[in-house]
Amino acid sequence: MAEPWEDDELEGPVRKFMYVNRRAPYGTIYALESLEVVLIAAAFEQDVTLVFMDDGVYQIKKDQNTDAIGVKNFSPTYRALEGYDVEKLYVEKESLASRGLTTDDLIVPVQLVDKDQLAQLMEEQEVILSF
Amino acid sequence: MSIEVNGKSLEVDEEGYLADLNQWEPEVATIMAREDGTELTDAHWEVINFLREYYEEYQIAPAVRVLTKAIGKKLGKDKGNSKYLYELFPYGPAKQACKYAGLPKPTGCV
């Protein structure tokens, strides 16, 4: 039998998962749930892509302060994604611009894409989950 | 469920993880380890302190693969491998060390 430390190479298929985040970070549980399943997929060494569009771009906005609403500010966790080898983060251009934001306002490095490029990325996925 | 630390009763969940991580103090780790039959050494503390810093920065407990890689980066290759961490924390480095550090169970931990 393998020793436990020899067991950390996971076997099984690697699938291309895309998580599309479209809602504000707080007020509903969607953003946090999405982040949790992203971390789980990454822990299982899947090929993970994240998209932020519509109000979802607020999820990765810098300087979030949740004191007044009494919930945990989980935005620092997006910065942990790199350590999980999740490095394909895309933001839909118009969503960002129409909210008066630029990539300088975001806590993680992202690639800006337009709707056509996004459609192309979606075409390449095996599983797409929308939150 | 609860554990007794310095005369205070601290609430823990059914798996022994501290309910409120703000109640953590070093004695929590010492007492939890002793219940598992382990005396903590400097090598254990290095990992426990690393986990507390990781949580402070990212607000999550890392998965074991991520912990191993990050330890390697911070403390050197000879420590950033599963064998070393499993020898220190035989119940699983992420799970057991996170428990001693007062963190929640790592996300994606099975």
Which residues, 6+ apart, have CB-to-CB distance to B96 below 8 Å? B36, B89, B90
Task: Flag whether pLDDT at A11 surpasses 90.
Answer: no
**CATH classification of the domain holding B81:** 1.10.10.370
Task: From residue B12, give the alpha-carbon distance in Å to each of A64, B5, B56, B102, B103.
Answer: 30, 12, 20, 10, 11
Average pLDDT over residues B81-104: 91
| Residue B107 belongs to a domain | no
**First vs last Cα of chain A: how many Å apart?**
41
Asked if B60 reaches chain A (Cβ–Cβ under 8 Å), the answer is yes
Query: In B, which residues are within 8 Å of A5 by CB distance?
Result: 81-83, 85-86
- Tell me what pLDDT residue A74 has: 96
* CA gap A129, A22 in Å, rounded: 11
Q: Is the pLDDT of residue B98 over 50?
A: yes
Predicted structure pTM score: 0.89
CA distance B34 to A16: 44
Res A2 pLDDT > 60 = no
CB of B69 within 8 Å of any CB in chain A?
yes
Q: Is the pLDDT higher at A34 or at B104?
A: A34
Q: What local confidence, expressed as pLDDT, does residue A9 receive? A: 57
Domain of residue A86 covers: 15-130
Domain count, chain B: 1
The two structure tokens encoding residue A110: 């992202």
Q: Is A5 a member of any domain?
A: no
In a domain, A7, yes or no: no
- For residue range A48-79, list pLDDT tens digits in order: 999 999 999 999 999 999 999 999 999 999 99
Instruction: Please tell me the predicted confidence (pLDDT) of residue A3.
Output: 62
B109 lies in some domain: no
Domain assignment present for B27: yes
* Residue A1 resides in a domain: no
CB contact under 8 A, A8 and B107: no
B98 in catalytic set: no
Tokens of A86: 């999740």
Instruction: Give the Cβ contact number of residue B36 at 10 Å.
Output: 13
B45-76 exposure pattern, b = at least 16 Cβ within 10 A, e = fewer: eebbebbbebbeebbbbbbbbbbbbbbeeeee
Contacts of B62 in chain A (CB under 8 A): 80, 83
Show residues of chain A in contact with B70, CB under 8 Å: 83
- A16-21 sheet: strands from edge to edge: A111-113, A88-92, A47-52, A16-21, A127-130
pLDDT surpasses 50 at B84: yes
Q: Is A72 exposed, middle or buried (0-12, 13-18, 19+ CB in 10 A)?
A: exposed
Domain assignment of residue A94, yes or no: yes
Residue A8: pLDDT band by 50, 70, 90 thresholds? low
Instruction: Identify whether A78 is part of a domain.
Output: yes
Give the CATH number of the domain where residue A26 resides.
Answer: 3.40.1260.10
Q: Quick one: pLDDT at residue B65?
A: 87
> Is the pLDDT assigned to residue B110 strictly greater than 50?
no
Q: Which residue of chain B has the CA closest to A7? A: B82
The pLDDT assigned to B1 comes to: 86
B108 in a domain, yes or no? no
Most confident of A105-109, B17-21, B35-39, B93-97: A105-109
The pLDDT value recorded for residue A93 is: 98
Full residue range of the structural domain in which residue B76 is found: 2-100
For B47-82, how does the pLDDT look when each residue is reduced to its tens digit (9 = 90+)?
999 999 999 999 999 988 899 999 999 999 999 998
Q: Residue B6: is its pLDDT beyond 90?
A: no
Classify residue B64: in a domain, yes or no. Answer: yes
Question: Is A43–B66 a contact, with Cβ atoms under 8 angstroms apart?
Answer: yes
C-alpha to C-alpha distance for A66 and A59, rounded to whole angstroms = 12
Report residue A92's pLDDT band, with 50, 70 and 90 as the boundaries.
Answer: very high
- Which of A5-9, A36-40, B34-38 is least confident? A5-9
CB contact under 8 A, B57 and A76: yes
Single out the residue of B104, B94, B89 nearest to residue B17, CA to CA: B104
Chain B CB within 8 Å of residue A30 CB: no
Q: How many domains is chain A partitioned into structurally?
A: 1
